[in-house]
Amino acid sequence: MSVRPSVREIPGEGDLKELRELVAELAEGFNRKEAAVLDRPFAADAVVVVPDGRIIRGWDELFAYHTARLAEVVSTWTMRQSVLSATMLGPDEAVLHIRQEMATPEREFANHGTVVASRRDGRWWISALHNTNVVG
């Protein structure tokens, strides 16, 4: 059996608080239907995989996607978001598992996601997010 290293550490309270606040911005922007708030935490070169499998590359493309989507498809939806787990891969890199509780006029459902957050110049940014529907 080969020896494998452990690569994750539990974040300190300060980092965990900041990472939760980073994720909370997503719900705030979504619920206010303001793409500028929703996308504020994303880095310029972020990569996002949305629940339908579409890959969005870069902040400009993400902002255009969310601007259209918030005005039309999800304009009556609300979201509650929570961090299920957070681990540090290094002092400035974190991986978060999140849950989004979505409510539409017709139904409720959930998404689970993975967020890669990177700290640059003392601030956390979302560098990647993969979001998928929870079945059942």
- pLDDT at position 120 is 97
- pLDDT at position 90 is 93
pLDDT band at 5 (very low <50, low <70, confident <90, very high): confident
Q: For residues 55, 80, 102 and 95, what is the CA-based torsion angle, rounded to 10 degrees?
A: 30
- pLDDT at position 103 is 96
Distance CA 45, CA 31 (A): 24
- pLDDT at position 4 is 85
Q: Where are the alpha helices (DSSP H) in the chain?
A: 13-32, 35-38, 59-71
Q: Judge whether residue 136 has pLDDT over 70.
A: no
Could you read off the pLDDT of 78-116 as tens digits, one per residue? 999 999 999 999 999 999 999 999 999 999 999 999 999
Could you read off the pLDDT of 61-70 as tens digits, one per residue? 999 999 999 9
Residues 98 and 83 sit within 8 Å (Cβ to Cβ): yes
The predicted model gives 30-47 an average pLDDT of: 98
